[in-house]
């Protein structure tokens, strides 16, 4: 369900834009400074956390077709990680859903829950399909794709010039 501009909520999570507040920047540094996270992303971000927040704000749209959110555990203020819905690089309009969670938030179902609310919003906004790309061997992210009902497309080098497992989820067909 939607709650305010740029914010989404589930029973357990609040998805909101990342900010340049000190606590958000510290969590970004901690999250993207961890080898157990960045090994699946191809390395650490090449920009500062402030620049990262600005880049993410630039890809976020009011219509729900793209955005980047801090995934906050409701009632605690703890940021579990990042949820992304953004165009795939070098694509022809394909949109990727992705999740980067802090290790202290793994195993709670937050990635699936956050991705589901963002995908549902994107489909309601008219997006016909979403993709996910996962590094081979990343069993937890592969499991999230399965839980979301995404169809495996096999390994591809199409978008990030590295071999990745690709998945697609089509918007449900609405019958009048």
Q: Tell me the pLDDT tens digit for each residue of 69-123.
A: 999 999 998 999 999 999 998 888 899 999 999 999 999 999 999 999 999 999 9
State the pLDDT at residue 5: 43
Average pLDDT over residues 145-163: 94
Q: Tell me the pLDDT tens digit for each residue of 134-144.
A: 999 999 999 99
State the pLDDT at residue 42: 78
Q: Structure pTM?
A: 0.90
**Domains in the chain with CATH codes:** 8-127 (3.40.630.30)
User: DSSP for 54-99?
Assistant: HHHHHH--TTSSSEEEEEEETTT--EEEEEEEEEPTT-SS-EEEEE
State the pLDDT at residue 10: 95
Q: Tell me the pLDDT tens digit for each residue of 21-63.
A: 999 999 999 999 988 998 898 777 778 889 989 988 888 877 7
* Backbone dihedral angles phi then psi of residue 5, each to the nearest 5 degrees: -65, 125
């Amino acid at each position: 369900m939607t709650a305010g501009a740029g914010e989404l909520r589930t029973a357990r999570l609040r998805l909101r834009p990342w900010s340049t507040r000190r606590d958000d920047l510290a969590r970004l540094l901690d999250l993207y400074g961890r080898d157990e996270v960045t090994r699946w992303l191809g390395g650490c971000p090449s920009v500062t956390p402030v620049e990262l927040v600005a880049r993410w704000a630039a890809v976020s749209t009011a219509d729900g077709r793209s955005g980047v959110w801090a995934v906050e555990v409701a009632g605690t203020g703890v940021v579990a990680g990042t949820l992304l819905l953004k165009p795939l690089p070098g694509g022809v309009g394909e949109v990727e859903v992705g999740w980067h969670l802090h290790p202290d938030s793994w195993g709670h179902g937050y990635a699936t829950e956050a991705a589901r609310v963002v995908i549902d919003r994107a489909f309601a906004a008219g997006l016909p399909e979403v993709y996910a790309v996962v590094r081979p061997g990343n069993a937890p992210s592969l499991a999230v794709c399965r839980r979301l009902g995404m169809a495996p497309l096999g390994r591809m080098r199409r978008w990030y010039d590295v071999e990745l497992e690709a998945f697609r989820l089509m918007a449900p067909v609405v019958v009048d």
